[in-house]
Amino acid sequence: LAKTTQPISMDSYEGQEVNITCSHNNIATNDYITWYQQFPSQGPRFIIQGYKTKVTNEVASLFIPADRKSSTLSLPRVSLSDTAVYYCLVGDDKIIFGKGTRLHILP
Amino acid sequence: EPEVTQTPSHQVTQMGQEVILRCVPISNHLYFYWYRQILGQKVEFLVSFYNNEISEKSEIFDDQFSVERPDGSNFTLKIRSTKLEDSAMYFCASSEALVGREDEQYFGPGTRLTVT
């Protein structure tokens, strides 16, 4: 299983773009990269998933370089409600959650 | 939008008692999971279940724990002889395909288990 490393916490302001980078040096050929969001006392919620290059949905973008040893979650124009823990996950038939990145959005 | 449901939302039990946490996964999903999260800590994988059997389990998932899909809809986690350190949020999740292979897990809202 590929281990992931991400910043423990980040602060940003409303309206800013936030980029959270995750390192996964030992990613396997078949592994996808998935990001989840978790609010306090709630279950994790899927945000985005990708394999290579760039993926965009209505919530976020995911940038993956050619070597796939890292990925960057980009949240455009964050709001206070984006304050949450964000998890980067790489794996196969089970999900190993790391400590995630605690994102705090300030007014 | 389909969702995973869990009952009860909060369970209080005495040490040594057995508890059963219930989950109803999304109907067309084939893979089922249990996770737990001790307050203030990370989400920990417990077990995955496919085709009516355990496909993988973590070190946490010892003989105290068992899972079952008693009918076509429910997926249960039984904890025998609960201990104080079993107090946590327990999340059920399901996915249509093998996670990590171009699919996502859908998580339920969790059951908060408090062992006194």
- The pLDDT of A68-86, averaged and rounded, is 96
* Residue A11 distance to chain B (closest CA, Å): 19
H or E stretch at B56 = strand B53-57
Closest CA to B106 of A99, A44, A90: A44
pLDDT-derived band at A94, boundaries 50, 70, 90:
low
Touching B: A residues 56-85, CB under 8 Å: none
Q: What is the pLDDT of residue A98?
A: 83
pLDDT-derived band at B101, boundaries 50, 70, 90:
low
pLDDT in tens, B1-49: 789 999 999 999 999 999 999 999 998 898 999 999 999 888 999 999 9
User: Shortest CB distance from B107 goes to which of A44, A51, A93?
Assistant: A44
Q: What is the pLDDT of residue B72?
A: 77
**Chain A interface, mutation test: which of B43, B59, B103, most A Cβ atoms within 10 Å?**
B43
Does residue A29 sit at the B interface (CB-CB below 8 Å)? no
Q: What is the pLDDT of residue B22?
A: 97
Higher-confidence residue of B104 and B76: namely B76
Is residue A40 within 8 Å of residue A49, measured between CB atoms? no
Give percent of chain A above pLDDT 70: 95
CB contacts of B58 in chain A (<8 Å) are 94
Q: How far apart are the first and last CA of chain A?
A: 38
Cα–Cα dist A101/A20, whole Å:
8
Higher-confidence residue of B72 and B15: namely B15
Beta bridge partners of B37: B43, B89
Residue B18: other Cβ atoms inside 10 A:
11
Is residue A12 within 8 Å of residue A106, measured between CB atoms? yes
pLDDT above 80 (res B76): yes
- Work out whether the CA dihedral A102, B84, B22, B47 comes out positive or negative: positive
Does residue A48 sit at the B interface (CB-CB below 8 Å)? no
Is residue A11 within 8 Å of residue A104, measured between CB atoms? yes
Residues contacting residue B36 through CB under 8 Å, at least 6 positions apart: B43, B44, B46, B60, B88, B89, B90, B91
H or E stretch at B53 = strand B53-57
Q: What is the pLDDT of residue A1?
A: 56
pLDDT in tens, B105-115: 899 999 999 99
Q: What is the pLDDT of residue B98?
A: 58
Q: What is the pLDDT of residue B102?
A: 55
**Tokens 């800590």, residue?**
B41
Q: What is the pLDDT of residue B40?
A: 86
